Amino acid sequence: MRKYYGIIVLLFCVKIGTAQTENSTYKNDSTILKKIADDVMTNGTAYENLRYLCKKIGPRLSGSTGAEKAVLATKKMLQDAGADTVYLQPCMVTHWVRGAKEVGYAVVDNKKIALQITSLGNSEGSGGKLIGADIVEVKTMEELHKLGTAVKGKMVFFNIAMNPTLIQTFSAYGASGVGRRSGPSEAARYGAIACLVRSLASNVDDHPHTGATRYNDSLAKIPAVAISTSNAELLSANIKAKKKVQVFFKNNCTMLPDVLSYNVIGEIRGTTYPEEILTVGGHLDSWDLAEGAHDDGAGIVQSIEVIRAIKAAGIKPKRTIRSVMFMNEENGGGGGNAYAAFAKEKKEQHIFALESDAGGFTPRGFTFGMSKEKIAAIQQWEKLFYPYGVYELRAGGGGSDIQPLADMGVPVSGLRVDSQRYFDVHHAETDIFEAVNKRELHLGALNMTALIWLVSEYGL
Amino acid sequence: MRKYYGIIVLLFCVKIGTAQTENSTYKNDSTILKKIADDVMTNGTAYENLRYLCKKIGPRLSGSTGAEKAVLATKKMLQDAGADTVYLQPCMVTHWVRGAKEVGYAVVDNKKIALQITSLGNSEGSGGKLIGADIVEVKTMEELHKLGTAVKGKMVFFNIAMNPTLIQTFSAYGASGVGRRSGPSEAARYGAIACLVRSLASNVDDHPHTGATRYNDSLAKIPAVAISTSNAELLSANIKAKKKVQVFFKNNCTMLPDVLSYNVIGEIRGTTYPEEILTVGGHLDSWDLAEGAHDDGAGIVQSIEVIRAIKAAGIKPKRTIRSVMFMNEENGGGGGNAYAAFAKEKKEQHIFALESDAGGFTPRGFTFGMSKEKIAAIQQWEKLFYPYGVYELRAGGGGSDIQPLADMGVPVSGLRVDSQRYFDVHHAETDIFEAVNKRELHLGALNMTALIWLVSEYGL
């Protein structure tokens, strides 16, 4: 036996050695994360930056003066955050304009009822002319296909409520969104003259929620408006009661040619592998109805905070970190596409991209669009995140703006937050600064910083 | 070998059998939980009950007419929810009254500045007389002890901010609460004439937060008020700038003799072990400044929802489930004490008690005050809760109202929710119905129902 003793002792030492290294690495990492966390929760500027973006600039739809101002403001914020370099990346963006505010009403058995409506993003309006017709309610796309040309000359009312039993509200949003996304063209296919869409909202209230629709170019582009959920319930109840329901509205929106705009980029150059790039971002554009606080002012100021927090912690990241304010997520994707195209053209080496575009709520996890092996490697950091409320590191998407990178094979991730309140305010005039809680916003920012720092330190 | 075959095969079958039973039990449990969840998220009445409690009744401080009305209203709610029996349990409760609204101002270098103040619960007022003095700021209790009689004839200003780096805000609340809880008596010990306490709030705003203080009966009961966090920052900045800062205020609060009130109890009698009792509750009283929506209207309506949801699911629980609206949690504990005393007197067999008193926010887990073995048994249900956002089942407390039961050895549990927003509104006039989100509230209710049902089915 004696000859094996040495080997056993040796193996034992290696085992202890590894354990000790792992332990001290863990301890070191967790110390750095704590430093970042304490600083963000105490000195973080994300909340005040969000206040500025919401209250001093406000709506920032692509092509608007708000968007232009937001480009300059976030450029300055990135500089103030301490980015080594800050620059604008040109991109062509959608230029849709709402025009004068929509007016709509229903006539129910000869009684006129004012409706809360808002044109769907990217839709064509009625040219300011009042249009009206009997409405036909459908609760699924299949119902419309069944009705077929029976909707000719009428308005189709897509009353597809978000399913309250889906605990992750994004699942309900995705499922119910078919009416908004493709309803107008499908209704046009059968000769409908216009489209009403129940707002994609979790709650029942008086605020219509906008959002982009997508016309099928081979079909007529009929006017399409969202109505508030309370209006949707009202119309539906009257239809159920066999009353005669007509709807009239006029709107003035239209699509103009694309215009030049910018992604705003701030960078900390990596010390050891500067050519390896990590992107962290959100989208700078927001719908014109409100301040775009949760969608996606939150993701913007959190991505700026990543830069500030890393600088404040005195960390020198091994890899290059880029904080990107993407333009035109809401109704075109021009910014995300330009960013990926530029990366491809310049043969940039993108190793990771993270997006925050689910609202500035308490974080619960991250999703990862990458190989199982890479996800498993990241899951080994689980314990490091646990003290900051993040417990779920699982497979899933990144975000719209970084999807073009994902399509090129870049590993992506998305911040996953508590989603219960998001669709109360999403794309509605209620998405304002006051709907965001400072601690929740900063908790998201610190977890994003932690993930970015870990990937910059260890790669993937 | 042959003779062992049978045994091996037998063992194998037992193994499969157990696995199948476990699997089918799990499947059965998860089906029932899904049924409960779908129903609560779709048909739950907690939110509308909360609206009634907040908007039709409002503040419900023990001994007030609001509290009386709340007793009758929740009795009806429990009946409507389908409880087999509903009854009132008498208890003596604290009767503290605020009197006319407080008035306060600071004089900073001869400039008068209005202050936002509110008397601490259970404190004695100035009898409507204006009192004033130089203020002495302390940031810890130790500082006060160091100053000692140097504070004689002055007002002590406890400026103990909640620590923003503590991710669980209840930890920060506990640590910073020493000024409110024992500050007035400690200041009186050294001859101070009155006490100002920085509001226990996570945010900086203009709303003072009240909350109970506890006088030491052997010391003078000096008037004590909370000031808004913005006021606290202002006073502190002026003191730091070496300005002369005096504060004047008058208030009219006083403690009256205890009065009779009630816990409200609704019961579903167990089918198999009716003598084994599970309690689920919150507290019915709330501070007089606001509607007590999160604190603890939420816990009240969730506990009523447990009854409704179990009835709606058509479940016949094996053990008796009691939904209890405890009176007087905020400033005396009369209801919780009476409930436990009654249980003891009647030799009731209490096997479990659950409280929701941390706000109606998205649930993240439950804490358990019971043996490690019992906690381990409960943790085996972890996967059942995961789809509903609850992932943390760990050791910890139950709640103030069920602490007297815990002291008698009853296993207790507390619903743990996302705590980031709670101390923005806690005990302040901002704790109103509008601060509660329906989905978050109902998610808490469904998880409470799930836990209560599992314990009623399997015991502990």
Enclosing H/E stretch for A460: none
Which A residues, 184 through 203, put their C-beta within 8 Å of a C-beta on chain B?
202-203
Average pLDDT for B41-61: 98
User: Quick one: how far is CA A396 from the chain centroid?
Assistant: 14
Percent of chain B surpassing pLDDT 70 = 95
Q: Which of A42, A203, A389 sits opposite B164 (nearest CB)?
A: A42
- Closest among A161, A167, A171, A391 to B34, alpha carbons compared: A167
Which residues does chain A have within 8 Å of residue B437's beta carbon, measured at their own beta carbons?
A: 420-421, 424
Is residue A164 less than 8 Å (CB to CB) from chain B?
Answer: yes
User: d(Cα B279, Cα B267) in Å, to the nearest integer?
Assistant: 9
CB neighbour list of residue B216: distance below 8 Å, 6 or more residues apart: B182, B185, B188, B189
Chain B residue whose CA is closest to A441: B420
Which of B167, B169, B437 faces A388 most closely, judged by CB atoms? B167
CB contact under 8 A, A37 and B167: yes
In sequence order, the 6+-apart residues with CB closer than 8 A to the CB of A221 are A123, A124, A184, A185, A188, A215
> Nearest-CA neighbor of A360 among A304, A298, A280?
A298
Place of tokens 């309900």: A172
pLDDT at A66: 98
B179 in Cβ contact with B213 (< 8 Å): no
> What DSSP line would sit under B297-326, residue for residue?
IHHHHHHHHHHHHHHHTT---SEEEEEEEE
Residue numbers of A between 401 and 430 with CB closer than 8 Å to B:
418, 420-421, 424
Model confidence band, residue B260 (pLDDT cutoffs 50, 70, 90): very high
pLDDT greater than 50 at residue B323: yes
CA distance A322 to A306: 9
Whose tokens are 């993270």? That residue is: A354
Judge whether A94 and A123 are in contact, CB under 8 Å: no
Longest dimension (CA), chain A: 102
Task: Say if residues A246 and A134 touch (Cβ distance below 8 Å).
Answer: yes
Cβ distance A317 to A457 under 8 Å?
Answer: yes
| Tens digits of residue pLDDT in A94-113 | 999 999 999 999 999 999 99
Answer yes or no: do A443 and B421 touch at CB < 8 A. no
At residue A456, does pLDDT exceed 60?
A: yes
Predicted local confidence at residue A119, as pLDDT: 98
Q: Which residues from A are below 8 Å from B38, CB to CB?
A: 165
B387 close contact with A: CB closer than 8 A: yes
**Cα(B70)–Cα(B48) distance, integer angstroms:** 15
Residue-wise over A305-326: b if at least 16 C-beta within 10 A, else e?
A: bbbbbbebbebebbbbbbbbbb
Q: Tell me the nearest-neighbour CA distance from A165 into chain B, angstroms.
A: 5
In angstroms, the first-to-last Cα distance of chain B is 43
Q: What is the mean pLDDT of residues A442-449?
A: 98
B170 touching A (Cβ < 8 Å): no
* Closest residue on chain A to B204 (Cα): A438
CB contact under 8 A, A38 and B167: no
Residue B74 structure tokens: 């929740």
Q: From residue B53, how far is each of B49, B296, B422 by CA, in Å?
A: 6, 10, 19
| B389·A440 Cβ contact <8 A | no
Q: Residue A153: which of A181, A131, A138 has the closest Cα?
A: A131
pLDDT of residue A24: 80
Our CA-based measurement puts residue A69 at a distance from the nearest CA of chain B, in whole angstroms, of: 29
- Which of A38, A51, A166, A420 has the highest number of chain B CBs within 10 A, making it the mutation to test binding with B? A420
Nearest to B165 among A41, A202, A420 (CB): A41
**What mean pLDDT comes out for the span B331-348?**
98
Are β-strands A319-326 and A273-283 bridged in parallel, bridged antiparallel, or unpaired? parallel
- The verdict on whether omega for the bond into residue A296 sits within 30 degrees of 0, i.e. cis, is yes
| Alpha carbons A116 and A104: distance in angstroms, whole number | 7
Residue A16 predicted with pLDDT over 50: no
From B441's Cα to the closest Cα of chain A, the distance in A is 10
Scanning the structure block, which residue is given the tokens 């910059």?
A: A456
Q: Which residues of B touch A362 (CB under 8 A)?
A: 362, 418, 420
Query: Does the bond joining B296 to the residue before it have cis omega, within 30 degrees of 0?
Result: yes
Q: Which tokens belong to A334?
A: 């021009």
Task: Report strand pairing: A363-369 vs A392-395.
Answer: parallel
Shortest Cα–Cα distance, B113 to chain A (Å): 26
Residue A168: name the closest of A342, A395, A419 by CA.
A419
Q: For the sheet containing B349-355, what is the strand order?
A: B85-97, B254-268, B319-326, B273-283, B349-355, B412-417, B363-369, B392-395
Cβ(A443)–Cβ(A362) under 8 Å? yes
CA distance B41 to chain A (A): 6
Q: Which residue of B41, B167, B362 is in closest CB contact with A164?
A: B41
- CA A23 to chain CA centroid, Å, is 37
**pLDDT value, residue B24:** 80
| pLDDT reading at B2 higher than 80 | no
- In B424-451, which positions are buried (b, 16+ CB within 10 angstroms) versus exposed (e)? bbbbbbbbbbebbbbbbbbbbbbbbbbb
Tokens representing residue B419 in the block: 């705590």
The size of the A-B interface in CB pairs under 8 A is 61
Contact call for B387 and A167, based on CB within 8 A: yes
Q: Residues near A311 by Cβ (< 8 Å), separated by ≥ 6?
A: A81, A82, A268
Give the separation between CA A217 and CA A212, rounded to whole angstroms: 15
Asked whether the beta carbons of residue A362 and residue B418 sit closer than 8 angstroms, the reply is: yes
* pLDDT (tens digit per residue) in B103-121: 999 999 999 999 999 999 9
Please count the other Cβ atoms lying within 10 Å of the Cβ belonging to residue A445.
32
- Residues B134, B192: Cα–Cα separation, whole Å: 10
Q: For the segment B10-46, what is each residue's pLDDT rounded down to a tens digit?
A: 444 444 445 556 678 888 999 999 999 999 999 999 9
Sort out which chain B residues have CB atoms less than 8 A from A440's CB and list them.
420-421
**In this structure, how many other beta carbons lie within 10 angstroms of the beta carbon of residue B349?**
14
> Considering only CB atoms, which chain A residues are within 8 Å of B438?
203
The tens digit of pLDDT for each residue in B60-94 reads 999 999 999 999 999 999 999 999 999 999 999 99
Residue B444: pLDDT band by 50, 70, 90 thresholds? very high
Phi/psi at A387 (nearest 5 deg)? Answer: -60, -15
Three-state secondary-structure class, residue B457: helix
> What local confidence, expressed as pLDDT, does residue B18 receive?
53
Chain B residues with beta carbon closer than 8 angstroms to that of A439: 164, 169, 202, 420-421
Flag if B38 and A165 touch (Cβ within 8 Å).
yes
What are the residues facing B323 on neighbouring strands?
Answer: B266, B280
Nearest to B150 by CA among B132, B140, B139, B138: B138
DSSP A121: B
Q: Do B42 and A439 touch (CB under 8 A)?
A: no
Task: Give the span between the Cα atoms of A350 and A405, in whole angstroms.
Answer: 8
Which residue matches tokens 């804490």? B367
User: Do the Cβ atoms of A165 and B387 come within 8 Å?
Assistant: no
pLDDT at position A20 is 53
* Rounded CA separation A153/B426 (Å): 55
Does the beta carbon of A443 lie under 8 angstroms from any beta carbon of chain B? yes
- Determine contact, residues B401/B327, Cβ cutoff 8 Å: no
Residue holding tokens 């407390």?
A: B397
pLDDT above 70 covers a percentage of chain A that reads: 95
Distance from CA of B309 to the nearest CA of A (A): 14
Closest residue of B to A434, CA-based? B435
Is B202 within 8 Å of A387 when comparing Cβ atoms? no
- How close does chain A come to B193, measured CA to CA in Å? 34
Question: What is the nearest CA distance from B417 to chain A, expressed in angstroms?
Answer: 11
Quickly tell me which residue has 């017709």 as its tokens.
Answer: A133
Q: Which of B229, B420, B437 to mutate against chain A (most A CBs within 10 Å)? A: B420
How far CA B187 is from CA of B96, B145, B370, in Å, comes to: 22, 9, 38
List, as one string, the DSSP characters of B49-86.
Answer: HHHIIIIII----TTSHHHHHHHHHHHHHHHHHT-SEE
* CB contact set of B38 (below 8 Å; sequence gap of 6+): A165
Q: What is the mean pLDDT of residues B427-435?
A: 98
Round to whole Å and give the CA distance between A123 and A186: 14
Tell me, yes or no, if A388 comes closer than 8 A to chain B by beta carbon.
Answer: yes
Q: How far apart are CA B447 and CA B452, in angstroms?
A: 9
- Which of left, alpha, beta for B328 (phi over 0: left; psi -120 to 50: alpha)? left
The shares of helix, strand and coil residues in chain B, as percent rounded to the nearest 5, are 45, 25, 30
Tens of pLDDT, residue by residue over A252-261, are 999 999 999 9
Above 70 in pLDDT, residue A6?
Answer: no
Whether the CB of A18 is below 8 Å from some CB of chain B: the reply is no
Chain B contacts of A420, Cβ < 8 Å?
362, 437, 439-440, 443
B158 CB within 8 Å of a chain A CB: no
Among the listed residues B146, B144, B134, B250, the one whose alpha carbon sits nearest the alpha carbon of residue B188:
B144
At B200-254, the pLDDT tens digits run: 999 999 999 999 999 999 999 999 999 999 999 999 999 999 999 999 999 999 9
Please tell me which residue, A12 or B407, carries the higher pLDDT value: B407
Residues of chain A found within 8 Å of residue B392, distances taken between Cβ atoms: 391
Chain A residues whose CB is inside 8 A of the B364 CB are 389
Residues on chain B touching A443 (C-beta within 8 angstroms): 167, 420
φ/ψ (deg, to 5) at A158: -80, 100
Q: Name which of A167, A391, A420 is nearest B437 (Cβ-Cβ).
A: A420
* Residue A362 near chain B (CB below 8 Å): yes
A204 and chain B: CB distance < 8 Å anywhere?
Answer: no
Nearest CA among A45, A89, A94 for reference residue A329: A94
Tell me which residues of chain B, numbers 265 to 304, contact chain A at a CB-CB cutoff of 8 Å: none
Q: Is A255 on the interface with B (CB under 8 A)?
A: no
Asked if residues B93 and B259 have their Cβ atoms less than 8 Å apart, the reply is yes
Spell A246-261 as b/e; 16+ CB within 10 A means b. Answer: bbbbbbbbbbeebeeb
Residues in B touching A43 (Cβ below 8 Å): none
Structure token digits, residue A99:
């025009």
Cβ-nearest to B164 among A41, A387, A391: A41
What is the rounded end-to-end Cα distance, in angstroms, of chain A? 43
Question: CB atoms < 10 A from the CB of B309, how many?
Answer: 30
ipTM, two decimals, is 0.94
